[in-house]
Homo-oligomer: A and B are copies of this chain.
């Protein structure tokens, strides 16, 4: 008897969005194979790739029925539903999504983009003028997280959930973009709690 066919994850080692999916699948013990893409060389914009994700981005995952799902946080929802990582209470489910939408709108475009420019692409005449504004917005996002974590261990109720995975992905590598987490004791304590969870994997492994 063989197990189910492994899932195929269209992946990128440096992408925090892709890492979210690797983290959840690892914590759920679901086997998957990784197909690595470079997020900067146009390889996710080919006709072949756009047939999987018309928005031309990783992560994207092939499901057992042959269909594809994309958007990291939607993939997290799909695999977490029915597990300990998706709250049992409707109010807390909405709160998990609240923080996941916050992550994609108010956090990732600043924390992740600054990291990518500083640590991977390098500063250019085009991106350098935009850096101060994006750094300021990144710190705003960290301030909002800190204000929540001052009174709560996790983002959606008392238990670790996919909201924590979504926010952990780029927060824990924010220093690669030059963000100083020294001023955020509650974020640092939460990062340690998340990293101590059973089945945790690192972004680069």
> What is A's interface to B at a CB cutoff of 8 Å?
54-55, 63, 65, 67, 69-75, 77-78, 81, 90-91, 93-95, 97-102, 104-106, 108-109, 144, 147-148
Contacts and interface: CB of A to CB of B under 8 A. Distances in A.
Given A81-B90, A90-B81, A104-B105, A74 B95 contact: yes
29 contacts: A54-B144, A54-B147, A54-B148, A55-B102, A55-B106, A67-B91, A69-B91, A71-B97, A71-B98, A71-B101, A71-B102, A73-B97, A74-B94, A74-B98, A74-B100, A74-B101, A75-B94, A77-B93, A78-B90, A78-B93, A78-B94, A81-B90, A81-B93, A100-B101, A101-B104, A104-B104, A105-B105, A105-B108, A109-B109
A77 B94 CA distance: 7
A189 B70 CA distance: 25
Contacts of A94: 69, 74-75, 77-78
Contacts of A69: 91, 94-95, 98
A63 B90 CA distance: 12
A46 to B, nearest CB: 15
Contacts of A147: 54
Contact of A101 (B95, B101, B106, B148): B101
Contacts of A109: 105, 109
A36 to B, nearest CB: 22
